[in-house]
Structure 1
Amino acid sequence: MVNFEAQPVSPVFGAEITGVDLAGGIDDATFEALEEAFHAHGVLFFRGQSLLSADAQVGLARRLGPLHQHPAAPMDDADSAVFVIHAHRDSPVANGNGWHTDVSCDEEPPLATMLQIHQLPQGGGGDTLFADMEAAYRALPPEWRSQLKSLTARHESEHVYRGRYADRGVDDTDAIYPAAEHPVVRTHPDTDRPSIYVNRSFTTAIVGMEPDQSDELLNWLFNHVERPEFQIRFTWQQNDVALWDNRRLQHFAIWDYWPDERKGHRVSVRGTKPFFDPDAPEPPEPTIRLSIGALAARPGGS
């Protein structure tokens, strides 16, 4: 019997789920309904949860599909699929402190990420921002969408991962970090909805463009997709769980709590290679309308 509520947290995307105990086991009917909510809202927030064991978190994620292995990060010894998120006084960087889609540099980037934060900064902070790339696409005029549909972008990770985890004992001297080419507009394989698929952390170039033109267009796209109209901000409470769709969303973990400590466990689900389906239906009228001034700054626009 399905007995939970999905309360939207914004007019655009995101929902808070009540009536589900993730540690207590979820029957097939409830899990199927949660998948439907996941596809509808893009990110689900589960408040008031118990601390999940590695086995429990991995087991939940596996119900969505095979697990994704991070190409660089150190994994929890208890289970190689669990990535320990940990920032503290001596951390040179904090994970996710910049707009990105998880590991978009992979040929088959993760479709979903499940994160539980179990240690919060004592002084507050450590929120996570999410941005909806479907809404960012819908907000563009049809002629601009058409131009983006024909483009491919390169995603790289050498500049992100090389030496990043040295403080946690990772020697990556001989590591070869992934790079891939993906469509600038991707079609969601479960909903057929299009979204913009470039991000400031991993996307380095538009394939076939001169570097100056590529940089100009990418910077415009980065600024567009990062607009606050497409965002929500999640303030964590102890043992909250967030489950987000990397095929649709970007996120940004705010590191505003140094020298305090923040810690959690993350598991990701392997996805498929991004694609664009020209026969998929165009989305309905945008839920967000941007001013002409906001759009006119597009490179080559008028």
Structure 2
Amino acid sequence: MNERLKITPLEPYIGALVENVELAKPLGDGQFEQLYHALLKHQVLFFRNQPITPLQQRALAGRFGDLHIHPVYPHVTDVEEIIVLDTYDDNPPDNDNWHTDVTFIDNPPLGAILAAKTLPATGGDTLWASGIAAYEALSAPFKQLLSGLRAEHYFTKSFPEYKHRGSEEEHQRWQQAVQKNRPLLHPVVRTHPVSGRQALFVNEGFTTRIVDLAVQESDALLNFLFAHITKPEFQVRWRWQENDVALWDNRVTQHSPLPTRHSVFPSVVPAW
């Protein structure tokens, strides 16, 4: 059996299309090793025509590590690790901004797998940006300025209370999540635990302030970093088709959905 994957880079700094693999089937060790190294290199991988079930998606994610259960999003029946993002006019997304998933916990997810199930007739693309490329584009003095700085990340920045009052059960789940996820600190620049490459690790979705700076200095620096990280030259844009799958390294990337009506099933894998 030929286990060689076809990997085609999509943009200079981030993104690759992966072919010659069926994600619904258990991956051989050789295939998984190729996939893992491609993820480290390209940061986000895309797959066409992969009709995986939630159970198959969970099994694939489990190859990377223990799975995370999101504190507020609804999940697939009997597969609580797989959350459901169903976006439409009366249910806009919580994270309709640039963000890195779940940075409000001590050990944010290693990665995430997103599978497209229901798509709009037009629109619905997703953008990813490379924190590595954004960091490497900075000048040496600016990198020195960022070295050692710590930023606060907080759950409620992307999940405010007013968005979670749909039912008493939903509101109680939100309140429990707030109690369990108090503001915490991460470095502004993090080192990838495997590749050793450095990346910017602040995001508009959850980062509230840089605690080592005065308020005005923090606001100015964060505004600059949020804009810098999401420059088009550091991005890849994916136009979804039904049964597409995306797999990304959440440690060094952030992403932003373009608002529209669509349904997807993602799962996340924690490992710091």
* Structure 2 letter corresponding to 1:219: N
* 2:59 maps to 1:59: yes
Q: Residue 248 of structure 1: which of 235, 245, 252 is its match?
A: 252
Listed as ranges, the matches of 1:157-172 within 5 Å are 157-163=155-161, 164-167=163-166, 170-172=170-172
* Contact kept? 1:2, 1:33, Cα under 8 Å: no
Distance in 1, Cα, partners of 2:33 & 2:166 = 41
Q: Deviations over 1:147-167 (max 9, x none)?
A: 111201000112322333444
Listed as ranges, the matches of 1:135-284 within 5 Å are 135-163=133-161, 164-167=163-166, 170-172=170-172, 174-177=175-178, 178=181, 179-255=183-259, 257=260, 261-272=261-272
* Contact kept? 1:111, 1:268, Cα under 8 Å: yes
* Contact kept? 1:54, 1:78, Cα under 8 Å: no
- Which has the larger displacement, 177-186 or 237-246? 177-186
Q: CA deviation at 1:229?
A: 1.1
* Contact kept? 2:76, 2:82, Cα under 8 Å: yes
Distance in 2, Cα, partners of 1:165 & 1:83 = 16
Which structure's CA Rg is the greater one?
A: 1
- Which has the larger displacement, 130-139 or 161-170? 161-170
* Contact kept? 1:104, 1:202, Cα under 8 Å: yes
Q: CA deviation at 1:46?
A: 0.5
- Which has the larger displacement, 206-215 or 164-173? 164-173
* Structure 1 letter corresponding to 2:46: F
* Contact kept? 2:204, 2:226, Cα under 8 Å: yes
Q: Which residue of 1 aligns with 2:115?
A: 116
* Structure 2 letter corresponding to 1:263: S
Q: CA deviation at 1:97?
A: 1.4
* Contact kept? 2:23, 2:50, Cα under 8 Å: yes
Q: Secondary structure at the match of 1:22?
A: coil
Question: TM-score, normalized by length of structure 1?
Answer: 0.84
Q: Deviations over 1:146-191 (max 9, x none)?
A: 1111201000112322333444761236324222200000000010
* Structure 2 letter corresponding to 1:225: I
* Gap change, CA 1:105 and 1:166, over 3 Å in 2: same
Q: Which residue of 2 aligns with 1:42?
A: 43
Over the residues paired in the alignment, what is the CA RMSD in angstroms? Answer: 1.5
* Contact kept? 2:95, 2:158, Cα under 8 Å: no
Distance in 1, Cα, partners of 2:95 & 2:250 = 13
Distance in 2, Cα, partners of 1:148 & 1:204 = 16
Distance in 2, Cα, partners of 1:39 & 1:109 = 17
Distance in 2, Cα, partners of 1:64 & 1:237 = 25
Q: Deviations over 1:45-89 (max 9, x none)?
A: 001112x11110000000000001212222222211010010123
Distance in 2, Cα, partners of 1:165 & 1:120 = 24
* Structure 1 letter corresponding to 2:110: L
- Which has the larger displacement, 172-181 or 237-246? 172-181
Q: CA deviation at 1:2?
A: 2.3
* Structure 1 letter corresponding to 2:266: R
Listed as ranges, the matches of 1:281-300 within 5 Å are none
* Gap change, CA 1:165 and 1:239, over 3 Å in 2: farther
- Which has the larger displacement, 8-17 or 74-83? 74-83
Unmatched 5+ residue regions in structure 2?
Answer: none
- Which has the larger displacement, 155-164 or 183-192? 155-164
